[in-house]
Structure 1
Amino acid sequence: MSLAQLAQKGKIKSKAHIKLVCDGKRNLSAKTIPTFSTMLGLKSKEADFFENLVYFTQAHTCEEQLKYRNRLKDLSKTSSAKQIEFEKFDLFSKWYIVALRELVELSDFKEDPKWINSRLKANLTPTEIKKALEILIKLGFLERKNNQLHQTTPKISSGDELRSKAIRHFHYQMLDKAKEALDEDMNHRETSGLTIAMTEEEFKMVKEKIIEFRKSLNESLGTCPTGTGPKNHLYHVALTCFRLTKGGNA
């Protein structure tokens, strides 16, 4: 169906507007969403899903995105594939979900809420712990063998860029943890920084080195561990480089 036919079906005056929306150059509004639903021939439930999907993709905060994610999840309970996509979003929406996956690797791990709260710097409810473990199992990051939880894949990585608001929210939470760690024993943490003027080329070089180091560290600790003793603590390694200035040429 051509853009002209779609415009006629949806009673939209300009077919150019449809193209701009399809190209991601213009957002839909509460007023135009029903128009596009009609144009696409969506039925009631499909139109409801489409509306919430639009709000989900256009959300400005993680809280808004979580709100519409939950609505989409409720509307797509019959689709296992869609459920998995929402679980992937959940994976980074709470810092402790990824942490629980790594906690399983500790030599004295116990699948017990009291033990987990005694070791993890959190105060999680049994329901939160159960849901987090269910997400990790469903996504294939954990499995049960002989009634015990085990990791099934190498380390989790969110990738080189923060494309998801959930992942950004994950880093916000970890930065809060980093601030708390500043008051802890220096033997249990490593915090250092460098403030320096750079050219754009130098910044790109620094960024590449950070990415290379993160991948190398993940590889060394994940698939080719060098330690010989038991794993008795969980750590978060954060690498960041950002501007302290504004304006300029770029």
Structure 2
Amino acid sequence: MNAPNIFKYNDPVAFIRDRVKYLKKSKRSYSIASACQPLRRCSPALISNILAGKRRITEDRFGDICQVLILNPQERDFFRALVFGEALQAEQPPREPSGGRRRVSNFILNDWINPYVKDSIRLKSVQENLKAIYDELSALATRSRIDRSISFLLKHGYLKVDQNGNLVESEPLHVLGDQNASRKIRHFHKQALDLAKKGIDRFSVDERLAQALVFPLNEESYKELQALIEDFSEQLKQFSEKHKNSNQRLYQFIIHLTPTGGSKHE
């Protein structure tokens, strides 16, 4: 039985019915009762009443229902639009999951630390002992902030609890581009650059790499350089996907091209 494609539905109740049926057939240990057990705002009775048309999905229960249905962030966005009749943001057009990389929504950047917490979950030390995440991210955030981030990532489907009770990612990789230069994305990039600056003093040269080139460009050569960087970025993304199970240490890689001054029209 194939998983129901949420992007082809216009009725959230029909999708829930098909999704539950699929989960029961594809996962031996799955049941609505077990999925609801750790949740406060969802129960088997609620799901039954929703399917029977006796209850509707409310905002305060939406996150828990998504956990019961094991939806990834992109599916949650579309499901929210189905349930509440909200228009999807133009920068996140509904599309079928690619099975790998996808561009991150601004939502995860409610706190810039969230992507670092999410990717730290893949580290071997954290998989063996969740408390190790505090040491891994001690230079970035306090324990309470990391805890809030984990709760946020769980609530909104960026992380999930697997059958063994471990925290795992819902999707393997998120790509943070600058095409839509919103305030949250700009803030994230500033924090990433700040971490890079601190890393120059904190880590030895055999643990990090820093390179800087300075040269003049005109409009034509700038576009040519952009194309080179985009090609290289794609290679990096493919590299990251290929080595997604490399889990010893968390790194960040920044590509940053900016003028040093002057005017675009000079």
TM-score range, shorter chain: 0.5 to 0.7
- Match of 2:167, SS state, is strand
Deviation per CA, 1:221-245: give whole Å up to 9, x if none.
12x2288xx5211011000111113
Of 115, 133, 136, which residue of structure 2 is paired with 1:98?
A: 115
Mapped to 2, the partners of 1:211 and 1:170 lie a distance apart of 20
Of 149, 153, 166, which residue of structure 1 is paired with 2:171?
A: 153
Asked whether 1:195 is paired with 2:214, we answer yes
**In the alignment, what sits opposite 1:130?**
147
Q: Which amino acid aligns with 2:260?
A: L
**In the alignment, what sits opposite 1:233?**
249
More helix by share: 1
**In the alignment, what sits opposite 2:224?**
205
- Match of 1:188, SS state, is coil
**In the alignment, what sits opposite 1:116?**
133
Q: CA separation of 1:112/1:91 partners in 2, compared to 1, >3 Å: closer, same or farther? A: farther
Q: CA separation of 1:219/1:95 partners in 2, compared to 1, >3 Å: closer, same or farther? A: same
Q: Is the 8 A contact 1:106 1:231 kept in 2?
A: yes
**In the alignment, what sits opposite 1:142?**
159
**In the alignment, what sits opposite 1:11?**
none
Q: CA deviation at 1:96?
A: 2.0
1:12-27 matches, cutoff 5 A = none
Q: Which runs of 4+ in 1 moved over 6 A?
A: 82-85
Deviation per CA, 1:142-166: give whole Å up to 9, x if none.
2211110112213111234142100
- Match of 2:181, SS state, is coil
Q: CA deviation at 1:220?
A: 1.9
Mapped to 2, the partners of 1:239 and 1:104 lie a distance apart of 24
**Most deviating of 98-107 and 160-169:** 160-169
Asked whether 1:244 is paired with 2:263, we answer no
**In the alignment, what sits opposite 2:68?**
none
Mapped to 1, the partners of 2:128 and 2:106 lie a distance apart of 24
Q: Which amino acid aligns with 2:183?
A: K
Mapped to 1, the partners of 2:112 and 2:175 lie a distance apart of 13
Q: CA separation of 1:248/1:231 partners in 2, compared to 1, >3 Å: closer, same or farther? A: closer
Q: CA deviation at 1:97?
A: 0.8
Mapped to 2, the partners of 1:93 and 1:175 lie a distance apart of 18
Q: Is the 8 A contact 1:101 1:136 kept in 2?
A: yes
User: How many residues align structurally?
Assistant: 171
Deviation per CA, 1:133-185: give whole Å up to 9, x if none.
23323443222111101122131112341421001001111111111011120
Gaps of 5+ in 1: 1-75
Q: Which amino acid aligns with 1:218?
A: K
- Match of 1:150, SS state, is strand
TM-score, normalised via structure 1 length: 0.58
Q: CA deviation at 1:115?
A: 2.4
**In the alignment, what sits opposite 2:9?**
none
**In the alignment, what sits opposite 1:216?**
235
The alignment yields a C-alpha RMSD, in angstroms, of 3.2
Mapped to 2, the partners of 1:214 and 1:135 lie a distance apart of 29
Q: Which amino acid aligns with 1:154?
A: P
Mapped to 2, the partners of 1:193 and 1:130 lie a distance apart of 36
Mapped to 1, the partners of 2:177 and 2:61 lie a distance apart of 26
Deviation per CA, 1:42-72: give whole Å up to 9, x if none.
xxxxxxxxxxxxxxxxxxxxxxxxxxxxxxx
Q: CA separation of 1:162/1:218 partners in 2, compared to 1, >3 Å: closer, same or farther? A: same
Q: Which amino acid aligns with 1:220?
A: F
Q: Is the 8 A contact 1:113 1:125 kept in 2?
A: no
Mapped to 2, the partners of 1:167 and 1:111 lie a distance apart of 32
Higher RCO structure, 1 or 2 (CA under 8 Å, sep 6+): 2
TM-score, normalised via structure 2 length: 0.55
